[in-house]
């Protein structure tokens, strides 16, 4: 749930945007769900005005959608949009990764190993939210070494848009595909990516990351295509 801020180091609307974005990414606010502004303001301990400003900001990022006379809703993505987003991901992330790889050091490898361990625990406990969090930290350990702030901004926006669907997809994997253990396969892919980077094989790592994105696109398109709007 949204967490009340005892200290506000930023403007109230920035805090509200961060909290709402977090609730969406964690799957607490689901695709197609209406965001109740009064309830959000009460939980955050702020007025309605910064909540409205935060929602306007999230709408420009594509995370929420404004419907006249109805309010703001968590954005629902059709299967075609998932495909379009992954076209953008392939272009942007491949460039970010290639730019970041020369900056990787033992410190980043240790961080990535830590995130892999966290992801392993999440797989064992079937914790979809923690799986998403550790997955994101693993990849952003690489992304954040990119020195182009615009590319990093675009990557972050694409991930924020897809993360609610990742939570749903992991839960669906555990419920509907128990024989394959897809989350464990995704974990194994991270381990191979890290091994390639540690071994000084950036070209192999780039190929593995491209395959990793393709798996994500395939599963998310199936997930969205099989669910009527509002029933994810």
Q: What percent of the chain has pLDDT over 90?
A: 50
Q: What is the pLDDT of residue 228?
A: 41
What is the per-residue pLDDT across 133-181, written as a single tens digit (0 to 9) for each?
Answer: 899 999 999 999 999 999 999 999 898 888 778 777 777 766 655 555 7
Domain spans of the chain, in order of start: 12-74, 79-225
Q: What is the DSSP letter of 77?
A: -
Q: How far apart (Å, rounded) are the C-alpha atoms in residues 169 and 167?
A: 5
CATH number of 12-74: 1.10.10.10
What is the per-residue pLDDT across 7-51, written as a single tens digit (0 to 9) for each?
Answer: 444 688 888 988 998 888 777 888 889 999 999 999 888 999 999
Q: What is the DSSP letter of 65?
A: E
The mean pLDDT of 59-82, rounded to a whole number, is 87
Q: Which CATH architecture has domain 79-225?
A: Up-down Bundle (1.20)
Q: How far apart (Å, rounded) are the C-alpha atoms in residues 157 and 149?
A: 12
């Amino acid at each position: 749930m949204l967490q009340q801020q005892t200290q506000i180091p930023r403007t109230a609307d920035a805090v509200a945007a961060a909290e709402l974005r977090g609730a969406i990414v964690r799957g607490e606010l689901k695709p197609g769900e209406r965001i109740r502004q009064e309830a959000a303001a009460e939980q955050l301990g702020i007025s309605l005005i910064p909540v409205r400003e935060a929602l306007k900001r999230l709408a420009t990022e594509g995370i929420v959608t404004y419907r006249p006379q109805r309010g703001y809703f968590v954005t629902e993505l059709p299967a075609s949009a998932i495909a379009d987003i992954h076209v953008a991901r392939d272009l942007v992330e491949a460039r970010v990764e290639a730019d970041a790889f020369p900056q990787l050091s033992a410190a980043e490898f240790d961080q990535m190993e830590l995130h892999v361990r966290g992801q392993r625990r999440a797989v064992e406990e079937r914790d979809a939210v923690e799986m998403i969090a550790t997955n994101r930290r693993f990849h952003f350990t690489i992304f954040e070494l990119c020195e182009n702030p615009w590319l990093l901004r675009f990557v972050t926006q694409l991930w924020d848009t897809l993360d609610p669907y990742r939570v749903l997809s992991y839960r669906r994997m555990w419920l509907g595909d128990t024989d394959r253990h897809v989350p464990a396969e995704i974990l194994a892919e991270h381990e191979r990516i890290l091994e390639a980077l540690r071994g000084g094989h950036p070209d192999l790592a780039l190929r593995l990351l491209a395959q990793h994105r393709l798996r994500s696109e395939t599963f998310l398109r199936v997930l969205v295509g099989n669910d009527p709007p509002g029933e994810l």
